């Protein structure tokens, strides 16, 4: 049915065609100096005539500069991780890097061998998007095994580890969580509840700090899963309680779940209840009512993570951090507390 696959053209084919040695071809495709302009042109011509494309496996095997990153994450379809991945991909492909992805199951515990075995080879560069236990652990394993080739992003508490600045691109949302909580307090709410995603996020710290500073004992955190549905379930009791007038949620999806639950409990937004999310996903602005939330530049963080990794790999000037800092965006799900009767 199908013709025999034609043997792919190698560096030697190009070399023969251009009348040079294979090493010269190598120099040309790696933009090495010490090649005469005329030779370079000849080789380039041969390359395009033959449609030659270098073999990445051979390149890595031969120990050339590494041109791939493995991204570890626990879910590619959540807004935050998807955007971060996107940012990494943007920066990586612009730099000619290949992106591999490795999804870790949050339900599972991985051994060191299982994590390292997911790399294309020992010492291969990696970026960990760490938002939960499993990915955080993966980060620990990877950093221990090959500190020079791993960076991480995310919102786990372990950023307090010594030297974290060397390898962490943090989404500094603690401060803005604090600001958001203060904002709610300033609207007359007597306290602010927090609906948390699995894992410990710094934003939770910001929330409790703000309350404490206002002399308020933080109420018990409401634990939720990652899905809208789990948030709706988790918040069911809370939204039914007329005493609760302000809820901050770990991310926008959870906020949507809470809003849904509140709607079914017959509470009006923001009259009876103020709700705040995190992420500013595209839906937030188009939800009715518009969701008050925190703009988080995941894509920028992803890009920066890649730049930092590249810096560790290739040296060069320290890349400057370049993502928007988190900011509270007030829309229509938050407002003044109803005066107490």
Q: Which residue ranges make up the site for DNA (CB under 7 A)?
A: 7-8, 10-12, 19-24, 26-27, 29-30, 33-40, 52, 54-55, 58-59, 61-65
Instruction: Answer positive or negative: Cα dihedral of 90, 92, 95, 96.
Output: negative
**CA-based angle 259:261:264, to the nearest 5?**
110
Does residue 127 contact residue 150 with C-beta atoms inside 8 Å? Answer: yes
Binding residue count for its own copies, defined by CB under 8 A? 57
Angstrom distance (rounded) from CA 71 to CA 302:
10
Residue 31 contacts its own copies per CB under 8 A: no
Alpha helices in the chain (DSSP H): 11-18, 22-29, 37-50, 56-61, 79-94, 112-116, 133-145, 174-186, 202-213, 228-240, 252-264, 282-286, 298-314
Angstrom distance (rounded) from CA 150 to CA 178:
30
Nearer to DNA, 31 or 243 (CB): 31
Nearer to its own copies, 259 or 337 (CB): 259
Question: Which entry of DNA, its own copies, none binds 45, CB below 5 to 8 A by partner kind?
Answer: none
Q: First vs last Cα of the chain: how many Å apart?
A: 82
Subset of residues 167 to 226 that bind its own copies, contact rule: CB under 8 A? none
- Shortest reach from residue 25's CB to its own copies, in Å: 16
From the number of C-beta atoms within 10 Å of its C-beta (0-12, 13-18, 19+), residue 173 rates as: buried
Residue 271 contacts its own copies per CB under 8 A: no
Residue 102 contacts its own copies per CB under 8 A: yes
- Shortest reach from residue 77's CB to DNA, in Å: 33
Residue 144 contacts its own copies per CB under 8 A: no
Q: Are strands 68-73 and 98-103 parallel, antiparallel or unpaired?
A: parallel
Find the part of the chain contacting its own copies (CB under 8 A) among 29-37, 75-83, 307-315, 325-333. 75-83
- Shortest reach from residue 15's CB to DNA, in Å: 7
Angstrom distance (rounded) from CA 70 to CA 291:
34
**CA-based angle 182:254:246, to the nearest 5?**
35
C-alpha gyration radius of the chain = 26
Nearer to its own copies, 183 or 256 (CB): 256
Question: Which entry of its own copies, DNA, none binds 76, CB below 5 to 8 A by partner kind?
Answer: its own copies
Cis before 270? omega within 30: yes
Question: Which entry of its own copies, DNA, none binds 133, CB below 5 to 8 A by partner kind?
Answer: none
Nearer to its own copies, 93 or 322 (CB): 93
Which one among 21, 23, 30, 76 touches its own copies, defined by CB under 8 A?
A: 76
List residues near its own copies by CB under 8 A: 2, 5, 8, 48, 51, 53, 55-58, 60-61, 75-77, 79, 82-83, 85-86, 89-90, 93, 98-103, 112-113, 116-118, 120-123, 146-148, 227-229, 232, 253, 256-257, 259-260, 263, 282-283, 285-288
């Amino acid at each position: 049915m199908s013709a025999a696959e034609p043997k792919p053209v190698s560096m030697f084919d190009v070399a023969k065609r251009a009348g040079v040695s294979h090493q010269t071809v190598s120099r040309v495709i790696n933009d090495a100096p010490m090649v005469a302009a005329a030779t370079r042109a000849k080789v380039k011509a041969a390359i395009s005539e033959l449609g030659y494309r270098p073999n990445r496996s051979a390149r890595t095997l031969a120990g050339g500069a590494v041109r791939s990153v493995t991204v570890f994450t626990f879910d590619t379809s959540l807004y935050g991780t998807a955007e971060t991945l996107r940012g990494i991909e943007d920066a990586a492909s612009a730099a000619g890097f290949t992106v591999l992805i490795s999804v870790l199951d949050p339900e599972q515990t991985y051994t060191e061998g299982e994590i390292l075995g997911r790399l294309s080879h020992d010492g291969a560069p990696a970026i960990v998007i760490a938002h939960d236990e499993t990915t955080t652990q993966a980060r620990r394993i990877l950093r221990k095994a090959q500190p020079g080739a791993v960076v991480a992003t995310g919102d786990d508490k372990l950023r307090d580890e010594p030297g974290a600045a060397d390898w962490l691109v943090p989404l500094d949302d603690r401060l803005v969580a604090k600001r958001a909580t203060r904002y709610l307090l300033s609207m007359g709410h007597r306290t602010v509840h927090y609906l948390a995603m699995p894992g410990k996020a710094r934003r939770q710290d910001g929330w409790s700090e703000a309350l404490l500073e206002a002399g308020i004992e933080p109420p018990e955190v409401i634990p939720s899963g990652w899905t809208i549905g789990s948030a709706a379930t988790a918040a069911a009791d809370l939204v039914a309680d007329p005493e609760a007038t302000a809820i901050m949620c770990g991310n926008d999806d959870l906020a949507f779940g809470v809003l849904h639950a509140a709607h079914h409990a017959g509470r009006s937004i923001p009259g009876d209840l103020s709700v705040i999310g995190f992420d500013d996903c595209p839906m937030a602005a188009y939800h009715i009512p518009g969701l008050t939330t925190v703009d988080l530049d995941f894509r920028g963080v992803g890009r920066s993570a890649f730049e930092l990794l590249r810096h560790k790999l290739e040296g060069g000037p320290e890349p400057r951090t370049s993502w928007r800092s988190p900011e509270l965006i007030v829309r229509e799900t938050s407002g003044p507390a109803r005066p107490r009767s």
